[in-house]
Amino acid sequence: MLGVSAWVVGSHWPADGMPWLAWPVHAAALATVTVEIVTRALKIQASARACGIPLRFGTALRVCLAGDFAAAVTPARSGAEPARFLVLAEGGTGAAARVLILFLELFLEMWSLVLVCGVLAVLFAGRGASVGGLLGVVGGYASGVLGAGAVAVLLARRNAHGPPPGWARRVGLHAGRWRAVQRTLRALRGSVASLRRADPALMLLALGGSVVHVLCKVATLPILVYLGDPTFPLTMDTLAPLVLWPLALFYGGVVVPAPGGGGVIEGAFAATLSTAIPVSLFAASLLWWRFYTFYLYILVGGAAAGDAALRALRRST
C-alpha cells in the first residue's frame, strides 16, 4: 500500500514541488473526522437504547474506533466486527445485546448509504461514469448486508437447536463448536424479535447520525481540494467526481482481500481522479485524503483497541 502510494505520488509530483496545505484546510478536515466519529458513536448508542440496551457513550466510541483499527489491518476489513464484539463484551454487554448492536450498526449503515447515494445519484445524474460506479457499489454492499442478514435469520429459525447439520460437519463445525454457533443464533433470533419493540424516535435519531457519518466521508476530499485551491471552480461537474468516486472507493475497498486495500485504492484514486483534481494539488490530495480517511483511524483506533484489550487481560488475570 505504501509502495503504490509512493509510486502514484511520484508519478504525479507537481513541477513546483508538493504544496503545503494551509492550517484551515487541516482544521476543517479534522473537524469532519471528529464529527464523523462522534455521530457514529451516537448512532450505536441511540440504536442500542432504542432496543432497551443500556450503553455508555464512551463504550460506543471505543466500539467505533476499535472496529476501525481492526478493519484497517485485516483482509477485507474482516476484523471489524470481532473487534467491536470484544469491546462490547469487555464493557459488560450481554451476548444477545452484542449481536443486536452489531446487526443494527450494519443495518443502519446500509440504509443511510442507500439514502445518501440515492440523493447524490439524482443531483449528479448524467455526470460521468462515477454515478454508475457509485450505484454499483451501493447495490453490491446493500445486497451483501441483506443477504448475510437473511441467511443468519434463516439459520436462527431452523438450526438454533439440535445436532449440527451435515454441511456444518463438512466445514469442521463439530458438536462443541456448533453449540457455540447455536447460542449466537438464538441470540440473533431474540434480537430480531426485540426490533419490533424498538423506540421509533431513537431509531430515527440513530439513522440521522448514520446519515451524517456517511456525509462526512463524502465531504473530506472536496474540503481538501476546494480549500486547498480556492481558485478551483466549484460547479456540479467538478464536484461530482470528488464526491462520488471516493465514496465508491471507500465502500468498494471491502472486496479487496489485502489489508487497507493493498494499494488498490491508491491506484484506483489515480485512475479515476487524476483529471478531476488540479495537477498542482493531486499528490497532496491523495496523501491527505488517505490520512484523514484511513491512517488517522489506525492511530486513534489502535489506542482504543489496545486500551480495551489490556483491560480485558487485566480482568481475566
Q: Could you report the per-residue pLDDT of 252-262, keeping only the tens digit for each?
A: 777 677 776 66
Nearest-angstrom CA–CA distance, 78 and 251: 13
Nearest-angstrom CA–CA distance, 18 and 230: 17
Q: Could you report the per-residue pLDDT of 174-216, keeping only the tens digit for each?
A: 666 666 666 666 666 666 666 677 888 999 999 999 999 999 9
**Which amino acid appears at position 76 of this protein?**
A
Q: Taking the CB of residue 313, how many other CB atoms lie within 10 A of it?
A: 10
Nearest-angstrom CA–CA distance, 198 and 229: 47
**Residue of 148, 122, 141, 169 lying closest to 251 (CA atoms):** 141
| 304, 69 Cβ separation under 8 angstroms | yes
What DSSP state is assigned to residue 53?
Answer: -
200 class by beta-carbon count within 10 Å (0-12 exposed, 13-18 middle, 19+ buried): exposed
Q: Could you report the per-residue pLDDT of 41-94, keeping only the tens digit for each?
A: 999 999 999 988 889 999 999 999 988 888 888 887 888 888 888 888 888 888
User: What is the structure's pLDDT at 163?
Assistant: 67
| 296, 36 Cβ separation under 8 angstroms | no
Report residue 163: phi and psi, to 5°: -70, 160
What DSSP state is assigned to residue 57?
Answer: H
Nearest-angstrom CA–CA distance, 63 and 70: 11
Q: Could you report the per-residue pLDDT of 134-168, keeping only the tens digit for each?
A: 666 666 666 666 666 666 666 656 655 566 666 56
Question: If you average pLDDT over residues 118-131, what whole number do you get?
Answer: 75
Which band of pLDDT confidence, cut at 50, 70 and 90, is reported for residue 309? low
User: What is the structure's pLDDT at 91?
Assistant: 82
